[in-house]
């Protein structure tokens, strides 16, 4: 490779890394600055402090929001892992009348954007008394057509022999699913776990629609409301943004390989 | 005879377990997608307010006709289309360039991939406040610009710059995703093809144009449609940046934000549902386009 071309490659790589990482670095620095220095572009290392994190945690319900986000993301993610793989398994491996019809429904629903049903879903949830509760934030989101589609494709790709042997031994479909199929499905389940969890943790539209008091806010909704009132205090706003961002960056760094594999096999995040 | 009844029993048992496995999905979509979809379709022909349900009544196509003369909705459609037309090609171009860079034999590839992907796992709300901070009148971006002699703006408060600022933000936060898909496509291209072309004396550029681009065609199409569908649903950033108003002067009003405001701030839910179906139609057309292109690719 010619030297000029190599220089060009490195320049692009480094400049774009600065573009993606720069904003995070600047936000972290700002989140550590005392309020008197937030408008200054220089960094006074001696004055950096975790005070802003302390402040937003002790004076504002950031920990509560963090907890709410965690509860909702965990419940929705595990609901999806279980229900999507059950439905995906039925569509891939179990014979029953109407299976093709249900599969077509799955494919069709992948085309329906959630925003179309915002109004009726809100009305339904408020009739049930579920607005501003954990029920409302989790129950409507426990299955996903796209997740079912992915699980079905995965189950079709694994060999049948073990399941057939288990059937001859008289195991029920449910036990085959739990004891044989799920343990084989770790890669597909990991991919779903990652995308469901990050997607839910970052979700903003539905939680902002379905929560009305600040003790039920999830972290994105809480941060937005905090920003709306205290936008002059950029150091605290940035501390909140980092609190919201850091867990997902950690998950990404831990599951980096599966992330990349997941996107390249599914084509979607 | 006995064997026959056993196999029949087994068949029935299997069918029952099939339905049991599908049950959570069927209940969930009936209650939260299909039911609401039908309900939304019905109230899109009604004057319907959640605050006063008893006064709701049929209005025929009035809501849909009203959309034709609704300046805010037209602005929202226009903004969303402009947003989409800029964001899609720019982000795909950057994503392709980055994929080629990290697919080459430079050192530190893993670091660069991680660095490029991190924005896509970041919450849209976090990205929005970070950018509001970077792009504020006396923020970091303007300071850097002033060093090279460009007079900065209060980007997000300016009618002309608010939407482009959101575009920059959206491109920044989703390029990594498309990069990874391009990368997978690039790695599927057999190395022998490049080697053969090199033996035949093709230079780097010729190899890219004659081998890489044609073989990457379906990945490009895929990314194009996914990106189009995603951009038409833009909401979070516009909401955070404008404090939910779509301002200044509707400059950041998007279709979903308009639905949200009409349905849940003005409680004009029949009208909001009509808007939602217009959005649905647009996205449906884009998805069908994707299916069509992919069918051609598959056979």
pLDDT category, A45, cuts 50, 70, 90? confident
Q: How many CB atoms lie within 10 A of CB A45?
A: 7
A260 inside 8 A of chain B by CB: yes
| pLDDT value, residue B295 | 63
What is the average pLDDT across B164-189?
92
Residues of B in contact with A231 (CB under 8 A): 132
**Reported ipTM:** 0.91
Three-state secondary structure call for residue B96: helix
Q: How many CB atoms lie within 10 A of CB A225?
A: 16
pLDDT category, B288, cuts 50, 70, 90? confident
Residues of B in contact with A87 (CB under 8 A): 21-22, 24-25
Calculate how close chain B gets to A237, using CA atoms only, in Å: 8
For chain A, give every domain's residue range. 32-266
Taking an 8 Å cut-off on Cβ atoms, the answer to whether A223 and B133 are in contact is no
- Per residue in A114-138, pLDDT (tens digit) is 888 999 999 999 999 999 999 999 9
Would you say the C-alpha torsion A182, A187, A188, A194 has a positive or negative sign? positive
Distance set, CA B271 to CA B49, B208, B234, B261, B285 (Å): 9, 50, 20, 11, 22
Per-residue tokens: B135: 């792009």
pLDDT category, B298, cuts 50, 70, 90? very low
pLDDT category, A47, cuts 50, 70, 90? confident
- Closest CB from B24, B101, B134 relative to A143: B24
- Per residue in B225-267, pLDDT (tens digit) is 889 989 999 999 999 999 988 888 999 999 999 999 999 998 9
- Closest CB from A96, A120, A223 relative to B15: A96
| pLDDT value, residue B235 | 94
Calculate how close chain B gets to A44, using CA atoms only, in Å: 16
Q: Which of A43-52, A142-151, A170-179 has the highest mean predicted lDDT (pLDDT)?
A: A142-151
- Closest CB from B25, B94, B181 relative to A263: B181
- Per residue in A86-96, pLDDT (tens digit) is 999 999 999 99
Would you say the C-alpha torsion B79, B80, B85, B89 has a positive or negative sign? positive
Calculate how close chain B gets to A216, using CA atoms only, in Å: 17
Q: Dihedral of the CA atoms B29, A111, A137, A86 (nearest 10)?
A: 50
Average pLDDT for chain B: 89
Distance (Å, rounded) from C-alpha A133 to C-alpha A217?
Answer: 10
Residue A20 near residue B115, CB atoms below 8 Å: yes
Residues of B in contact with A66 (CB under 8 A): none
pLDDT category, B125, cuts 50, 70, 90? very high
Residue B221 near residue A170, CB atoms below 8 Å: no
- Per residue in B187-238, pLDDT (tens digit) is 888 888 888 888 888 888 888 888 888 888 888 888 888 899 899 999 999 9
Q: What is the largest CA-CA distance in chain B?
A: 93
Would you say the C-alpha torsion A120, A124, A122, A247 has a positive or negative sign? negative
Calculate how close chain B gets to A51, using CA atoms only, in Å: 19
Taking an 8 Å cut-off on Cβ atoms, the answer to whether A113 and B279 are in contact is yes
Residues of A in contact with B94 (CB under 8 A): 16
What is the percent of chain B where pLDDT is above 70? 96
DSSP per position, B26-51: HHHHIIIIIHHHHHHHHHTTEE--TT
Calculate how close chain B gets to A123, using CA atoms only, in Å: 7
| pLDDT value, residue B22 | 97
Three-state secondary structure call for residue B281: helix
Calculate how close chain A gets to B280, using CA atoms only, in Å: 7
pLDDT at B132 over 90: yes
pLDDT at B148 over 50: yes
Residues of A in contact with B285 (CB under 8 A): none
Return the residue of B nearest to A269 by Cα.
B177
Calculate how close chain A gets to B82, using CA atoms only, in Å: 20
pLDDT at A1 over 70: no
- Per residue in A218-261, pLDDT (tens digit) is 999 999 999 999 988 999 999 999 999 999 999 999 988 877 77
Taking an 8 Å cut-off on Cβ atoms, the answer to whether A20 and B140 are in contact is no
DSSP per position, chain A: --HHHHHHHHHHHHHHHHHHHHHHHHHHHHHTS-GGGTT-SS--GGG--SHHHHHHHHHSTHHHHHHHHHHHHHHHHHHHHHHHHHHHHHHHH---TTHHHHHHHHHHHTT--GGGGHHHHHHHHHHTT-TTSHHHHHGGGS--HHHHHHHHHHHHHS-SHHHHHHHHTT--HHHHIIIIIHHHTHHHHHHHHHHHHHHHHH--HHHHHH--STTT--HHHHHHHHHHHHTT-HHHHHHHHHHHHHHHHHHHHHTHHHHHHHHHHHS--
Q: Which of B13, B19, B24, B25 is the best residue to mutate to test the A interface, defined by the most A CB atoms within 10 Å of its own CB?
A: B25
* Alpha helices (H) in chain B, listed in sequence order: 2-29, 35-43, 62-68, 71-103, 109-117, 124-134, 140-147, 162-187, 191-199, 204-207, 213-215, 217-232, 236-242, 255-264, 269-298
Best CA proximity match to B176, nearest among A12, A187, A269: A269
Residues of B in contact with A19 (CB under 8 A): 172
A146 inside 8 A of chain B by CB: no
Return the residue of B nearest to A198 by Cα.
B121
Query: A32-266 falls under which CATH superfamily?
Result: MetI-like (1.10.3720.10)
Three-state secondary structure call for residue B135: coil
Return the residue of A nearest to B276 by Cα.
A116
Distance set, CA A215 to CA A67, A139, A236 (Å): 10, 19, 19
Calculate how close chain B gets to A254, using CA atoms only, in Å: 11
Distance (Å, rounded) from C-alpha B269 to C-alpha B277?
Answer: 12
| pLDDT value, residue B299 | 36
Q: Where is average pLDDT lowest: A226-230, B47-51, B121-125, B288-292?
A: B288-292
- Per residue in B43-94, pLDDT (tens digit) is 999 998 877 777 888 999 999 999 999 999 999 999 999 999 999 999 999 9
pLDDT at A268 over 50: no
Average pLDDT for chain A: 91
- Residue whose tokens read 């937030």: A38
A128 inside 8 A of chain B by CB: no
Taking an 8 Å cut-off on Cβ atoms, the answer to whether B236 and A205 are in contact is yes
- Closest CB from A121, A198, A224 relative to B240: A224
What is the average pLDDT across A182-198?
89
A23 inside 8 A of chain B by CB: yes
Q: Give the A:B interface size as CB pairs under 8 Å.
A: 268
A173 inside 8 A of chain B by CB: yes
A111 inside 8 A of chain B by CB: yes
Q: How many CB atoms lie within 10 A of CB B292?
A: 11
pLDDT category, B127, cuts 50, 70, 90? very high
pLDDT category, A264, cuts 50, 70, 90? low
């Amino acid at each position: 490779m010619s030297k000029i071309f190599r220089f060009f490659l490195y320049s692009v790589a480094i400049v774009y890394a600065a573009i993606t990482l720069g904003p995070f670095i600047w936000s972290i620095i700002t989140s550590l600055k005392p309020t008197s220095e937030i408008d200054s572009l220089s960094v006074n290392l001696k004055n950096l402090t975790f005070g802003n994190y302390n402040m937003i945690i002790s004076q504002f319900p950031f920990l509560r929001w963090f907890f709410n986000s965690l509860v909702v993301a965990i419940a929705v993610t595990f609901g999806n892992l279980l229900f999507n793989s059950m439905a995906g398994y039925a569509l891939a491996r179990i014979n029953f009348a109407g299976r093709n019809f249900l599969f077509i429904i799955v494919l069709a629903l992948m085309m329906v954007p959630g925003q179309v049903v915002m109004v009726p879903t809100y009305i339904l949830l408020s009739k049930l008394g579920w607005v501003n509760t954990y029920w409302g934030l989790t129950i409507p989101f426990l299955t996903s057509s796209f997740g079912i589609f992915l699980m079905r494709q995965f189950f079709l790709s694994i060999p049948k022999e073990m399941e057939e042997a288990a059937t001859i031994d008289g195991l029920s479909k449910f036990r085959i699913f739990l004891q044989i199929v799920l343990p084989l499905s770790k890669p597909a389940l990991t991919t779903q776990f990652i995308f469901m969890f990050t997607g839910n943790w970052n979700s903003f539209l539905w939680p902002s629609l379905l929560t009305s008091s600040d003790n039920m806010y999830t972290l994105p909704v809480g941060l937005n409301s905090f920003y709306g009132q205290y936008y002059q205090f950029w150091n605290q706003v940035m501390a909140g943004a980092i609190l919201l961002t850091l867990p997902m960056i950690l998950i990404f760094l831990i599951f980096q390989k599966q992330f990349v594999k997941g996107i390249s096999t599914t084509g979607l995040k | 005879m006995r064997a026959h009844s056993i196999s029949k029993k087994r068949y029935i048992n299997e069918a029952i377990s099939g339905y049991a496995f599908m049950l959570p999905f069927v209940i969930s979509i009936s209650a939260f997608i299909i039911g609401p979809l039908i309900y939304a379709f019905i109230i899109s022909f009604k004057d319907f307010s959640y605050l006063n349900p008893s006064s709701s009544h049929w209005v025929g196509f009035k809501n849909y006709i009203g959309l034709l003369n609704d300046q805010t909705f037209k602005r929202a459609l226009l903004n969303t289309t402009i947003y989409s037309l800029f964001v899609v090609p720019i982000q795909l171009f950057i994503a392709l360039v980055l994929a080629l860079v990290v697919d080459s034999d430079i050192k530190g590839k893993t670091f660069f991939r991680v660095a490029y992907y991190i924005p896509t796992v970041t919450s849209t709300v976090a990205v929005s406040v970070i950018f509001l901070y970077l792009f504020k009148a006396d923020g970091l971006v303007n300071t850097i610009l002033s060093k090279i002699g460009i007079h900065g703006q209060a980007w997000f408060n300016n009618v002309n710059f608010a939407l482009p600022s959101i575009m920059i933000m959206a491109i920044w936060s989703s390029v990594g995703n498309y990069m990874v898909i391009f990368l997978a496509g690039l790695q599927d291209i057999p190395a022998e093809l490049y080697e053969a072309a090199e033996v035949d004396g093709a230079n780097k550029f010729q190899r890219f144009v004659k081998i890489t681009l044609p073989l990457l065609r379906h990945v490009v199409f895929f990314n194009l449609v996914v990106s189009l569908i995603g951009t038409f649903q833009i909401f979070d950033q516009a909401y955070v940046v404008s404090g939910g108003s779509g301002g200044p002067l509707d400059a950041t009003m998007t279709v979903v934000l308009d639905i949200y405001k009409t349905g849940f701030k003005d409680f004009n839910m029949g009208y909001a549902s009509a808007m939602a179906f217009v959005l649905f139609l647009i996205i449906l057309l884009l998805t069908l386009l994707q299916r069509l292109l992919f069918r051609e690719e598959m056979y």
